[in-house]
Amino acid sequence: MEHESRSARQLWVDDEKGRQRMPDPVRNAAVRAVMITSVTLIQGVVAFYCSVAGSWLAFPMTVSSVASTIVATWSVLDVWITRQVWRQRNGVVSEPSSTARQLRRERRAEERAEERAEGRADGRKDGRTDGRADGRTEAARLSEAA
């Protein structure tokens, strides 16, 4: 009986984690970077052992290790660049926290209330404080203020 209940259950269950899976282009770049970096480290170790042993292979391995280090550095930068490009093209949604949003709403409401109070104190019936009631344009008001 216990054996039958085991077979009915799923073999693999995904746990929901806080981090989402990386996009495919970014993951591909990351895998590439890990592979290149590991080959570079192996080359460095082989170059070290060849130079300790006094082998003729020490110099070519050292030169290839230096070149691989440059390639590995670029591959790691490629991961970062690919990630940034992915974010720009596919739009990571950036939402402020609810606390920040609430504070901003309250601040705007206070500013509107102050503007309405100032508009009525000027004797305007509509409560407008944008300065267009006197017929001047925005450019005229800005040049006057300068």
Give residue-wise pLDDT tens across range 74-84. 999 999 999 99
- Residue 45 confidence (pLDDT): 96
Buried b (16+ CB within 10 A) or exposed e, 43-72: bbebbeebeeeeeeebeebbebbeebbeeb
How far does CA 134 lie from the centroid of its chain? 48
Amino acid letter for position 106: E
Predicted confidence (pLDDT) at residue 132 exceeds the cutoff of 80: no
- Residue 121: band (very low, low, confident or very high) from pLDDT cuts 50, 70, 90: low
Is-contact 68 36, C-beta < 8 A?
A: yes
Angle at 8 between CA 6 and CA 14, to 5 degrees: 90
Predicted confidence (pLDDT) at residue 44 exceeds the cutoff of 70: yes
Q: What is the pTM of this model?
A: 0.51
Structure confidence by residue, pLDDT tens digits, 45-59: 999 999 999 999 999
- Residue 99 confidence (pLDDT): 65
Tell me the mean pLDDT in the region 35-53.
96
